[in-house]
Amino acid sequence: MTDPRPVDAHYESLLAERYTWMMGGASACQTTAKALLDAAGVVSGLDGEAHQLALDLGAGAGFHARTLAERGFEVIAVDSSAALLQELATLCAGFGVTPVHSDLLDDRGYRRRAPFALVLCVGDTLTHLDTHADVNRLLEHSASVLGPGGKLVLQFREPPSDMSPQNSVFTTRHERDRIMECVLHYWPDRVWVTDVVHEWISGTWRSIRSTYPKLRLTAEEVMETARVAGFGLELNEPHARQRLLVFTRL
């Protein structure tokens, strides 16, 4: 049996059960999801048609999937974290969302449902892939399962070219009984992210930490990969301190 990928181990040991809290709680996450889809122009089923199929790659706890379902899509929600998919199942109960526990590059769990009208890969999911070649593969898979005119929505963080050491350590969120900090180490091709959580449990502080790598991606690189895969660029703009790209399948 192979060892889990560092990012999968990180989510299992530390992040999955705290992810929604880290992002501000369920209400804040739902508001953020709606704002992103609004910015991407996914206001309702594309061309006003209801019950179109959407594929949410890296669906996490399901806030984007639920918003898509509320806007008339049937959603296939793929994630490698079983814990986050359990949260998604609760959040999306009663909506047209089907969870799929799978690696994002294993398209066997969703290809049979193609063609899709929309593919979503947001929340910095692209940078969680292992290599730039994997990013290329994901865009190629997306092109192959989208129908002509279908939309691909990507969102990812572009790391700064330089960051001072003191700015590479910051508090992600804090409450009386829980503090979460993040430490970044920049390499030429990736950023090593160490999350540190301090929790007050039974009268004492407990600390846990875990590290995983994130790819360093640029908008120019992703746009060129998408062009080669058969996409036309529709939108390129910053959103919520990340890069938002929307493409149309040609």
Q: pLDDT tens-digit profile of 117-145?
A: 999 999 999 999 999 999 999 999 999 99
Question: What confidence score (pLDDT) does residue 248 get?
Answer: 98
Measure the CA–CA gap between 183 and 207, rounded to whole angstroms. 14
Q: What DSSP assignment string belongs to 175-225?
A: ETTEEEEEEEEE-SSEEEEEEEEEEEETTEEEEEEEEEEEE---HHHHHHH
Which residue type does 59 have? A
Question: What confidence score (pLDDT) does residue 3 get?
Answer: 78
Sequence spans of domains, the chain: 6-159+218-249, 165-214
Measure the CA–CA gap between 184 and 163, rounded to whole angstroms. 9
Which residue type does 249 have? R
How many C-beta neighbours within 10 Å does residue 179 have? Answer: 17
Residues of the chain with pLDDT under 50: none
Q: pLDDT tens-digit profile of 187-222?
A: 999 999 999 999 999 999 999 999 999 999 999 999
Record the pTM. 0.95
Question: What confidence score (pLDDT) does residue 165 get?
Answer: 81
Measure the CA–CA gap between 70 and 66, rounded to whole angstroms. 6
Classify domain 6-159+218-249 at the CATH superfamily level: Vaccinia Virus protein VP39 (3.40.50.150)
